[in-house]
Chains A and B, each alone.
Chain A
């Protein structure tokens, strides 16, 4: 029996107070966007649950899409049948078929919204339960903590059944927390930081620093491809390419070797902050993980962070590299990230940058630079691209007629 709809549960969202409706509406919009290749599927949102009525669209396809929509805690394919005992028994048996195995236990949990239905909940539980137990004699009925529960809801327009519970991605609907600027280099960490920010409801805009000719068009494309990988968890992503050559050349010219890295990071942060205000965003995110490299010691973070007082979120700060790589593999950015292109963080950096830069020294050295002018010119020169799902598709299409 084919499910007619997918039931979506919210989890954490349900604990929100007055503005819960805003969250749920946003989630419903995000679901609609994720299902735009399944135009017949209709999204119906309610305070406690959202239903996606399939109208013939593929169950597997829709569920695969929903697995990327943050804010969804769990999902269940729901079968809808007419209001007869035979129909509901048959449906329960077909649900059990998927989940049954020798020695497994189950129970039936009936709710009755339509109290005119001929059988009450106790009677229904008993009848449906014995029909399933007869069909699968190796199944055991168990009231306390059974392996699976077949839920039956008798409503005015039919009887609804579901049993399977599929894990969603959890988190909060993208956009519910507001907008943030993701510093996206092209390495392994920053896409993961972007993904985790999106998971907590942030709509991200990607800021990428390009220093041609020291950095290549391939490095830029790689960053765009990484941004494209993240679009499947939200919507289009604004990709902001910052011209950084002038700044980097100036730093190389006037700053002592040991401090180049620190000053470069400070300049990036100043530019990103300026973009943040311009783009009406609320925070800056990056892929820093404590102690991973020279720029990520606490001393370095303090010296770099000192240029701004806006929130800098570091979703990876307490993660090990192996944990980060694991997520990068899950979100399919790892293979892209490890492609060997120079990025702006690796050019001009000395073999041994200072791991404990002194803020006083940094400020003294920077006095030789026209900081405001550099920031202004960089911000004025940005190029903004919309990266959408189409960019992922385009790459695949190019090979379609070959493979």
Chain B
């Protein structure tokens, strides 16, 4: 079995799973309880928070645990809208956001907010000039997907930060779910980015834990009101086993991070090299994107067909993002990049994790080429 769908989700590392089990058995107290078990759980929670903060180069007080990346996106966007609507109701985002962001924007639009969705070029990047034009006195939030989930485009965070440096009152947010461990993230007190969203299950932690970075002093209203956990910003009994497992997984992810990124880039390079001479293969990702995601298609062959043909060989990939593929929609990212509908619907997404190997890529290439020969017979003259 070859699993190349790591941007959809990842397999939990055994070591991380053991941590999950240990915490659920040994530290099962509610961190809010006054007694010893509670105190211990609370201390463990805060140790996990401190570790995550240290890895991300931010302060422990700036880290919040949520249930998912989707929740993080929803909270920061709607929370900013609620908190800052008296100052303005204009938000800037892109046309290639994850549905968690895109649909939150749709909802806010219905409530009377104005949304500017920046276009992208054929590499999937926004134009800095267009961003400059879009900023208005009533802009309260600008949010960008740091690494696109469908084809891996990296947004120019440094340039975006530079532009927004002149507008300190606009909350600058990134959706870093696909970016963590894969590219440099300029976070911390001396950086312009105010908020960032992460999700544990994209880096071999169990489902059910998201991480939010929210810079000290930046105001965001809570979405979940209740018992006042996470400094009143995100009520719910803390998912301690998940949180501790996630901070372990984050530590593993960022250990020898540069080597791992290089490894991912080598896998991707081998994949691209292996397919570049096939005339009917079209790459939708550039080689300048994130090191772990490649989006491509075979002309005239729907992505779904290719996914199932590979599946028959026990190779697992996606049609673009797993979230929208079941819904049977076209890839909105590819359409935004100016790719026509007929081409966009051929797209599949291959996404690696640090645990994938060169041999797996070699096996994939062999299987893919066989499928390719079969599927392109229709073009033989």
Contacts and interface: CB of A to CB of B under 8 A. Distances in A.
A401 B16 CA distance: 11
Contacts of B51: 403
Contacts of A217: 36
Interface string B347-361: 000000000000000
Nearest to A218: B39
Interface string A339-362: 111000000000000000000000
A403 B34 contact: no
Interface residues of B, number: 17
A403 B39 contact: no
B34 A341 contact: yes
Interface residues of A, number: 13
Contacts of A339: 39
Nearest to B52: A403
A399 B44 contact: yes
Interface string B9-43: 00000000001001100000000001110010001
Contacts of A221: 39
Residue of A218, A339, A396, A402 contacting most chain B CB atoms (<10 Å): A402
A402 B36 CA distance: 19
A402 B34 contact: no
Contact of B34 (A335, A340, A396): A340
Interface string A217-240: 110010000000000000000000
B247 interface: yes
Contacts of B244: 402-403
Secondary structure call for the B interface: helix
B35 A403 contact: no
Nearest to A335: B46
Contacts of B34: 218, 340-341
B47 A399 contact: yes
B272 interface: no
Interface of B: 19, 22-23, 34-36, 39, 43-44, 46-48, 51, 244, 247-248, 251
**9 shortest interchain CB distances as A-B pairs:** A399-B47, A403-B51, A402-B19, A402-B244, A399-B44, A403-B247, A218-B39, A403-B248, A403-B47
29 contacts: A217-B36, A218-B34, A218-B35, A218-B36, A218-B39, A221-B39, A335-B46, A339-B39, A340-B34, A341-B34, A395-B43, A396-B47, A399-B43, A399-B44, A399-B47, A401-B22, A402-B19, A402-B22, A402-B23, A402-B44, A402-B244, A402-B248, A403-B47, A403-B48, A403-B51, A403-B244, A403-B247, A403-B248, A403-B251
